[in-house]
Structure 1
Amino acid sequence: MEQRGRSITVRQDSGREWDDHYWWSHDGVRLHARIYPGPEAAAAAPPILCLPGLARNARDFEALAPHMAARRRVIVIEFRGRGESAFAKDPMTYVPLTYVQDVVALLDELAIGRCVTVGTSLGGLVSMLLAAAQPGCVTGALLNDVGPELEQAGLERIRDYIGTGGSQPTWVHAARAVAELNAAVYPGYSIHDWLRFTKRTHRLTPEGRIVADYDKQIAAPLRVPHGGDAGVDLWPAYRAFGDAPVLVLRGQLSDILSAAAAKKMAKELPHARLVEVPGVGHAPTMDEAEARAAIDAWIAELPAA
């Protein structure tokens, strides 16, 4: 175990690919991240910071993170109220600007001045806001099915289900419930795919029930009038990536990021590239062959130092 300031790194067990790292937010919430060390030869390269979606956690990157860690260090954050990060006392802190502050606190603790971001949905919004708040910090970005323009229909769908639902008696029951809710997002999934997906997004309680692995109060800010709407023009935040390599992934069936908005994003920045992942909605898991090939090409473009 290594302790630095108010942060703690728990060294990996034999056979495990990551170290558990804990740090504290400015309002006293204990937060968690997985750190994949990466190759020693790439120690000077800006690390890749993975930022999950609204109801997701570090397991969302359980396949992608070790793949990227073959090239450089990878840090997978769990936002407050998710996974091993503690629940917030004030549910109205479950908002993007607070998540940015939590990320900055981690970067400060680890003395990281520059990083590369991989953000799914909410994580992509946090990535854009981080680039705007910390000029020069983000030297490359992957935005997974998110951008400065979001479709209202998709936002309403998320607002309707987030924070709802109860527990299930078995993983199969939970997978079937998740499949029913998300059938239009991943129409080609088998029950085995749904089980894998559910084990990334749910957890087993001490009572032996299966529940979503997040604080249901993350929905509180979405319940206020216009909750979940950006309320501000996010194009300046997107443009804050400047000439950094930017990969925009879009699910072909997405109801959050429109094809028109994605194309506009690709044209807006000099080194932005759009790749559409066929047959999936919001959001690609980034395990798809098309997504993985695009990610590998994007990593090859990232600055080495």
Structure 2
Amino acid sequence: MEFAPPAAVSSFDLSLQGAGIDLAATRHDASATAATPAILFAHGFGQTRRAWSATAAALAGRGHAGLAYDARGHGGSGRNAAGEAYTGQQFTDDLIVLAGELPRPPVLVAASMGGLFGLLAEARWPGLFRAMVLVDITPRWETAGLERILGFMTAFPDGFASLEQAAGSVTAYLPHRQGRKSPGSLRELLREGGDGRWRWHWDPRLVDELARDSDRHQDAIAEATRAVRCPLLLVSGGRSDLVSDRTVADFLELAPHARHVQLADATHMLAGDDNDRFTATVLDYLAELDRTEGTGQPSLAHRAPAPVTGANP
């Protein structure tokens, strides 16, 4: 199934203020009157807001206006000043600020890193989100999968001599994908330095300051998850090496009201691997949310009774 958005869908870039930092963002809207974003998209570690472009356009074309942003240290967003380490608290605060500025609680659609900070944000501020869609991320994860991701991110410290060389590295990292990334499609993800070499868009400090020892935060994230009462959907990849049957079972024990859908042929890069099925899954879930809330049934609508403190790494 393909989701070609109608011509009425428009997207425009803007700058937003996070927790003391400028964040690059894109609005996706099918309304001439600029409807309030119903969906807030948060990308994974090392990605940008562009990872959501196809899904966001398809959802907007069906009446779900969206807002996608680059996390701090990624893409077009600001970077921490020299000497200011990146912390999970900062990323969680950014998300709280963005969602809190919207007139109504959005549905958070969040991959990997974005999903973890979404859980922490909702636990700290119950009712921040109408619901959450976690994209191949659970409060506890497989260390081997994380090490593979960080291995790729740190494999080319001196960058690439050309966009073509960068495309080759992506093909080797994602051998299951059909076709090769065109150099032009990677231009958004790399920056050309004064030495003529191309380097990834993220701040390299993120690896050591935020991700390298992130396993030690799993207990805190698990406790935050236990406090989340808003509707939750986990969409996992059947070929993911970060999320496994073990981590899914643990997540469902922590959040027994959550639902789980697995896309059997997808890896951790789920939305990119099978975007049509992923988008269809999100659309089905949004429709179910609307139906449930319209009838007053409680099965998808839960709220935490009080904020959780001390849960942010």
- Paired position in structure 1 for 2:17: 24
Matched-pair identity in %: 24
Are 1:217 and 2:198 an aligned pair?
A: no
Q: Check 1:21–1:59 CA distance in 2 against 1; reply closer, same or farther (3 A cut).
A: same
Residue type matched to 2:27 in 1? I
Q: Check 1:104–1:199 CA distance in 2 against 1; reply closer, same or farther (3 A cut).
A: same
- Per the TM alignment, residue 215 of structure 1 is displaced from its structure 2 partner at its CA by 1.2
Are 1:247 and 2:233 an aligned pair?
A: yes
- Per the TM alignment, residue 54 of structure 1 is displaced from its structure 2 partner at its CA by 0.6
- Per the TM alignment, residue 37 of structure 1 is displaced from its structure 2 partner at its CA by 3.0
Contact 1:119–1:142 (CA under 8 A) maintained in structure 2: yes
- Per the TM alignment, residue 125 of structure 1 is displaced from its structure 2 partner at its CA by 0.4
Q: Check 1:58–1:203 CA distance in 2 against 1; reply closer, same or farther (3 A cut).
A: farther
Are 1:265 and 2:248 an aligned pair?
A: no
- Paired position in structure 1 for 2:310: none
In 2: Cα distance, 1:298 partner to 1:273 partner: 10
Are 1:60 and 2:48 an aligned pair?
A: no
1:168 counterpart (160, 175, 195): 160
Deviations 1:256-284 (A, max 9, x none): 11123224434654652222223332221
Give the stretch that moved more between structures: 16-25 or 194-203: 194-203
Contact 1:33–1:75 (CA under 8 A) maintained in structure 2: yes
- Paired position in structure 2 for 1:282: 268
In 2: Cα distance, 1:298 partner to 1:107 partner: 20
- Per the TM alignment, residue 157 of structure 1 is displaced from its structure 2 partner at its CA by 2.3
- Paired position in structure 1 for 2:90: 98
Deviations 1:16-45 (A, max 9, x none): 832322233444x2221112234479946x
- Paired position in structure 2 for 1:156: 147
Which runs of no fewer than 5 residues in structure 2 stay unpaired?
1-6, 295-313
Q: When the two structures are aligned, how many residues end up with a matched partner?
A: 283
- Paired position in structure 2 for 1:4: none
Q: Check 1:25–1:233 CA distance in 2 against 1; reply closer, same or farther (3 A cut).
A: closer
Deviations 1:219-270 (A, max 9, x none): 131576x3453253423322344252x2211111211111232244346546
Q: Check 1:150–1:84 CA distance in 2 against 1; reply closer, same or farther (3 A cut).
A: same
Which runs of no fewer than 5 residues in structure 1 stay unpaired?
1-13
Q: Check 1:292–1:25 CA distance in 2 against 1; reply closer, same or farther (3 A cut).
A: closer
Residue 107 of structure 2: SS of its match in structure 1?
Answer: strand
Residue type matched to 1:156 in 2? E
- Paired position in structure 2 for 1:84: 76
Q: Check 1:116–1:285 CA distance in 2 against 1; reply closer, same or farther (3 A cut).
A: same
Aligned Cα root-mean-square deviation (Å): 3.1
Contact 2:96–2:128 (CA under 8 A) maintained in structure 1: no
2:113 counterpart (122, 139, 143): 122
- Paired position in structure 2 for 1:294: 281
Residue type matched to 2:233 in 1? L
Are 1:191 and 2:191 an aligned pair?
A: no
Contact 1:116–1:140 (CA under 8 A) maintained in structure 2: yes
- Paired position in structure 1 for 2:133: 142
Give the stretch that moved more between structures: 81-90 or 205-214: 205-214
In 2: Cα distance, 1:49 partner to 1:223 partner: 23
Give the stretch that moved more between structures: 117-126 or 150-159: 150-159
Q: Check 1:231–1:140 CA distance in 2 against 1; reply closer, same or farther (3 A cut).
A: closer
Residue 167 of structure 2: SS of its match in structure 1?
Answer: helix
Residue type matched to 1:67 in 2? A
Scaled by the length of structure 1, the TM-score of the pair is 0.79
In 2: Cα distance, 1:229 partner to 1:17 partner: 42
Deviations 1:100-136 (A, max 9, x none): 111222334x344512101110011011011101111
Are 1:177 and 2:169 an aligned pair?
A: yes
Residue type matched to 1:236 in 2? E
- Paired position in structure 2 for 1:11: none
In 2: Cα distance, 1:48 partner to 1:255 partner: 27
Residue type matched to 1:235 in 2? A
Residue type matched to 1:98 in 2? Q
Give the stretch that moved more between structures: 256-265 or 15-24: 15-24
Residue type matched to 1:162 in 2? M
Residue type matched to 2:17 in 1? W
Deviations 1:268-303 (A, max 9, x none): 546522222233322212543332221111121234
In 1: Cα distance, 2:282 partner to 2:183 partner: 25
In 2: Cα distance, 1:155 partner to 1:36 partner: 31
In 2: Cα distance, 1:248 partner to 1:230 partner: 20
